[in-house]
Amino acid sequence: MSMQVTSGSNSFSLRQRRPVLRLSIGFGPRLATVGVACALLATILCAQQSKPNEYQVKAAYLYNFGRFVKWPSGAAAGKNDFAVCVLGQDPFGPTLDSTLTGETLDGKPVVIRRLEKPRDAADCRILFVSLTEERRLKEILAAIDQAGVLTVSEIPGFSQRGGIIQFVVEGDRIRFEINLANAESSRLVLSSELLKVAATVRRSARSGG
């Protein structure tokens, strides 16, 4: 599946598996105009609905973030897979598995892990921090400091509190903010193509908490 996100004059391809889907990102009752072209062998997703929901969009974003980030050579050293993790209560349900199962990133098969303890996140490449974890955000970020983990969340102020990518809603679209200083602190290199389509690129270091 390919999702096309329009951001001003820029576009960002959100690739998912099998069907082809191009849209201006929105969700639920506020979904923007969507054009859908399913592949010949359509999946249940396309058979049952023509509009992606919020977490289908966010799952596609997680995959594509992995395509536009370069990890340090020591990140998840010795691991034969590429771990995309959810810490705390999982808002994706089966959507994350159906989107990422069978995919590869950085030349390794993607695996999904659901975690309860911050210390278990050091082996992740991408870590989605659930809203339920806001109170212990400082502890979580300290646990993965210098581990080369791309942190993503929808927690308010996440990109200003030490996180790297924060989902935000603008009108009927799901977009994201990037804190470049936090990415650099985690030894991650973000593609200029990713920066171009971010709603905001922050360059100040984390403020903590």
Q: Assess if residue 119 is contained within a domain.
A: yes
CATH of the domain at 179: 3.40.50.2300
As for how many domains the chain has, the answer is 1
Give percent above pLDDT 90 in the chain.
62
Whole-angstrom distance, CA of residue 191 vs CA of residue 85: 21
Q: Are 163 and 147 in contact (CB under 8 A)?
A: no
Q: Assess if residue 208 is contained within a domain.
A: no
- Please tell me the predicted confidence (pLDDT) of residue 120: 93
- Please tell me the predicted confidence (pLDDT) of residue 76: 64
Q: What is the DSSP string of 135-149?
A: GGHHHHHHHTTTS--
What number is the average pLDDT over the span 108-120? Answer: 95
Whole-angstrom distance, CA of residue 147 vs CA of residue 152: 15
Q: Assess if residue 9 is contained within a domain.
A: no
Q: Assess if residue 102 is contained within a domain.
A: yes
Q: Assess if residue 150 is contained within a domain.
A: yes
Q: What is the pTM of this model?
A: 0.78
Q: Assess if residue 135 is contained within a domain.
A: yes
Q: 205: closest CA among 120, 127, 117, 145?
A: 145
- Please tell me the predicted confidence (pLDDT) of residue 9: 43
The radius of gyration of the chain's CA atoms, rounded to the nearest angstrom, is 16
Structural domain of 155: 53-202
pLDDT at 18 over 80: no
- Please tell me the predicted confidence (pLDDT) of residue 12: 54
Q: 30: closest CA among 171, 165, 145, 163?
A: 171
pLDDT, the chain, mean: 79
Task: Answer with the residue of higher pLDDT: 182 or 50.
Answer: 182
Q: How far is residue 81 CA from its own chain's centroid?
A: 17
Q: 184: closest CA among 127, 146, 138?
A: 146
Q: Assess if residue 30 is contained within a domain.
A: no
Q: Assess if residue 78 is contained within a domain.
A: yes
Whole-angstrom distance, CA of residue 177 vs CA of residue 7: 13
- Please tell me the predicted confidence (pLDDT) of residue 77: 61
Residue with tokens 């593609």: 191
